[in-house]
Amino acid sequence: MKDAAAKAVEKLQELLDLATDVNSYEDEETWLAALRVLSGAVTTALNTQLRVDEGAMQAQRDDKLIEIIRLIQEEEKTRPMRLVN
């Protein structure tokens, strides 16, 4: 997934370079339309990457939680259980 995101960012950079060159368009209206399309594409790409990163962070947090629970269980085995008043 990271490879796809990296390729998308590269393509967006290429498009950004082209779209920001007003001289490559017949008129200003066409140029502004291209910038609006590019803006939508960039927003979509960034939102997608944000969701991917959030998913990865959630998985890391879940992995750590499992490890913490395992450590607690191991510690409970080595210590006698006592009631606290």
Per domain, the residue ranges of the chain are 2-77
Per-residue pLDDT tens digits for 29-46? 988 888 888 888 878 878
8 A C-beta contact, residue 42 and residue 12: yes
pTM of this prediction exceeds 0.85: no
8 A C-beta contact, residue 52 and residue 5: yes
Pick the residue with more confidence: 30 or 11?
Answer: 30
- Alpha carbon 7 to its chain centroid, in Å, reads 14
